[in-house]
Amino acid sequence: METAARLTNDTHSTLLSATTSHLFRLPGELRKDIYRLAIVSPDLVLVDSTGVPEPALLSVSKHVRSEAITIDYKENTFNIDIIDFNSAVCVRMSQKKRQLRYRHQISPRCFCSSLPNNCKPNRANLLLWLRRYHEGCVDQKIGSPSELLRANELYDAMYLVVGGVFCIVDGMRTVG
């Protein structure tokens, strides 16, 4: 009986100390500045087949997560690595974006990359990606040929053609 009471008191004091942490005594704007320093990356955040990486800070507590998650997804830019035109990563990222729009009214900045040295053209994957994009299941695509050329990057003809196909699908989405 005495042990149970002591455990309850220990648990209560632990919870109390977590809610009265020095961090939570700071004004909200100052806490957000601290979160920005810890979370926002000057580089692109790579999203690959393992999913969207989350900073360890988001696992500290529910309170910190609720305050910091919007900063992570609103102020970072995510680069979705598409290998072999496999759009499964795009589907997961699109689902995550919909959740964030619903829960936090934010929409992360994302773009796709599929570099020539890690891509083996897979027609079935590309057709599935185009279908998912046309149906609105994913909103990530390869840029239009003019966007790709403006980026001053070297792209082979395959990327320019695929970017053009996505432009055609864009037109089809608006028509019907």
| Cβ neighbours, 10 Å, residue 123 | 8
Q: Which residue has the higher pLDDT, 153 or 30?
A: 30
Domain limits at 78? 2-141
Residue 174 lies in a domain: no
pLDDT tens, 81-122? 888 888 888 888 888 888 888 888 887 888 776 554 556 778
Query: How far, in Å, are 81, 154, 158 from residue 164 at the CA level?
Result: 19, 16, 10
Q: Which token pair is 46?
A: 């790579």
Q: What is the pLDDT of residue 143?
A: 74
Residue 152 lies in a domain: no
Residue 147 lies in a domain: no
Query: How far, in Å, are 13, 49, 51, 143, 159 from residue 84 at the CA level?
Result: 53, 12, 17, 16, 12
Domains: count for the chain: 1
Residue 153 lies in a domain: no
Q: What is the pTM of this model?
A: 0.69
Residue 167 lies in a domain: no
The answer on pLDDT for 13 being more than 50 is: no
Helix (H, G, I), strand (E, B) or coil at 28: helix
